[in-house]
Amino acid sequence: MPRDGYDTMDPDFWVQRFFRDLSEHILQLTDVSGRPGFMDSSMRTGQLWNDEMARSLSACRVFVPLYSPRYFVSSWCGKEWAAFQRRQVHYRRHEDHGPSSAVVPVLWAPVPEHQLPDSVRSVQYVQPEIGRRYEDFGLYGLLKVSSFRRDYERAVLHIARSIVEVAENVVVERGDGSAFDTAYDAFAARPPRTRRVRISVAAGTRDGLPEGRSPDYYGPTPLDWNPFHPDSTQPVAQVAAEIVERLDYRAEVREFDDTAVADEVPEILLLDRWVLRDPEYRKRLGTFDGGQRSTAGLMVPWNEADPDSAEAGDELVARTESTLPRHVARGQQAAVSAVSGVPDERSFSAVLPRVVAHTMADHLKRVSAAPPTGKSPPRFRLLAPGPESDRPQSGAQGPEGWPR
């Protein structure tokens, strides 16, 4: 909950009571030892992230926001929400349950529907099974009215059970604490994304693989390539696009095209090393490496559990280095593992943001260093007077009367 500056009483008194009651239920419902959660009670408006807050947001398994009108006008609460949402979320098992979420909202005080930011509308927060009084008064109202005591106890127990269920079924990959310094306010009205990142996929297809390569990782197009099969159910291009979107860019996914004209969109190349066994594909990638798009970032997924990897690894590593020497060298500056072989989806999710940041920095340097387009302005030259005269000769004047 956001805090105001008044000190006549602890504004978090009732929140702390709820936190204690909720923690007690979770301890009883699980085998967790010690404090089961974290509540920041020191953050005031304008205060910087503290280390404990950053560690908790990068490691917590369930995020429990307390909805209220004040919550959604707090920029710090908006940044906290955005920081948690950047973390990769998926179900522990591969059943199709729809979009996964590790957010369990609590209705602290009723919020009119029109006051909910667009970023939270997809998260279910109304829980009819708790009871009508919870919807009408919120948890704070149930706490303050003594005759609502039983409603409060039922609500807290239900919330605790929801938290435990999410923690047992949803995996939230660990985040990077340093990312919170650049977190945006998820509740503020924001213009459409204008910054773009292109994701190009250089990969094989099920019908066009080299001899001996298993088709299990491929589909009808390069965009179907899933190097982390069977642990991942998504094509790697889709995984990359979701990560790029969480970094607040607009992702553009396409098949690798070495004939495309260089433009002003930074690019990430996802490379399937197996295509380097094809001489024609190798030639295309070599052209790409030496062309104007040589500032593209390079990511090389390489599943260590893939039974084909061990036998072909050394050969394909050598071909990668000889075909794409510029991209490999630049990629090592961003993250060595990005070009040496990303072994699994979890590592891919951790490394890609670093590659995107490094690629964007290089892209901005290249754009700022490029001369402006269009007709060049006139260039003037001032010459020192010759030894015979310290004055310009009659009629020898440049634009605006400048001496030539």
The amino acid at 111: V
172 and 253 together in one domain: no
- Phi-psi sector, 341: left (phi>0), alpha (psi -120 to 50), beta: left
Where does residue 177 rank: exposed (0-12), middle (13-18), buried (19+ CB within 10 A)? middle
116 and 224 together in one domain: no
Q: Which residue do the tokens 């459409």 mark?
A: 192
- For residues 83 and 75, give the distance between their C-alpha atoms in angstroms, rounded to a whole number: 12
Contact criterion met (CB below 8 Å) for 89 and 171: yes
Q: Which residue do the tokens 């909720």 mark?
A: 22
212 and 347 together in one domain: yes
- For residues 149 and 12, give the distance between their C-alpha atoms in angstroms, rounded to a whole number: 19
DSSP assignment of 164-193, as one string? Answer: HHHHHHEEE----GGGGGG---TTS--PPP
Residue 252, domain extent: 196-369
Phi (first) and psi of residue 162, to 5 degrees: -65, -40
- Asked, for residue 134, whether it belongs to a domain, the answer is yes
* Mean pLDDT, residues 352-358: 92
Specify the length of the chain in residues: 404
Q: How far is CA 195 from CA 17, 54, 96, 160, 249, in A?
A: 44, 26, 32, 40, 5
- Asked, for residue 213, whether it belongs to a domain, the answer is yes
pLDDT digits (tens, 9 = 90+) for 194-248: 688 999 999 999 999 988 899 999 999 999 999 999 998 899 999 999 888 888 7
114 and 217 together in one domain: no
- For residues 392 and 397, give the distance between their C-alpha atoms in angstroms, rounded to a whole number: 8
- Asked, for residue 85, whether it belongs to a domain, the answer is yes
62 and 98 together in one domain: yes
- Asked, for residue 380, whether it belongs to a domain, the answer is no
Domain boundary among 134, 153, 182: 182
pLDDT digits (tens, 9 = 90+) for 49-73: 556 677 788 888 899 999 999 899 8
Task: Indicate whether this model's pTM tops 0.75.
Answer: no
296 and 148 together in one domain: no
178 and 261 together in one domain: no
Domain boundary among 182, 207, 234: 182
Domain boundary among 135, 156, 182: 182
Percent residues over pLDDT 70 in the chain? 77
Query: How would you label 361-396 residue by residue, b for 16+ Cβ within 10 Å and e otherwise?
Result: ebbeeeeeeeeeeeeeeeeeeeeeeeeeeeeeeeee
66 and 210 together in one domain: no
Task: Indicate the range of 200-204, 235-239, 258-262, 335-339 predicted with least confidence.
Answer: 258-262
- Asked, for residue 77, whether it belongs to a domain, the answer is yes
250 and 291 together in one domain: yes
* Overall number of domains in the chain: 2
Q: What's residue 87's pLDDT?
A: 79
247 and 326 together in one domain: yes
Question: Which contacts qualify for 321-324: CB closer than 8 Å, 24 or more apart?
Answer: 323/276, 323/282, 323/285, 323/286, 323/289, 324/271, 324/285, 324/286, 324/288, 324/289, 324/298
168 and 208 together in one domain: no
- Asked, for residue 396, whether it belongs to a domain, the answer is no
20 and 156 together in one domain: yes
- Asked, for residue 210, whether it belongs to a domain, the answer is yes
- Asked, for residue 3, whether it belongs to a domain, the answer is no
Sign of CA dihedral 37, 39, 40, 45: positive
- For residues 121 and 185, give the distance between their C-alpha atoms in angstroms, rounded to a whole number: 15
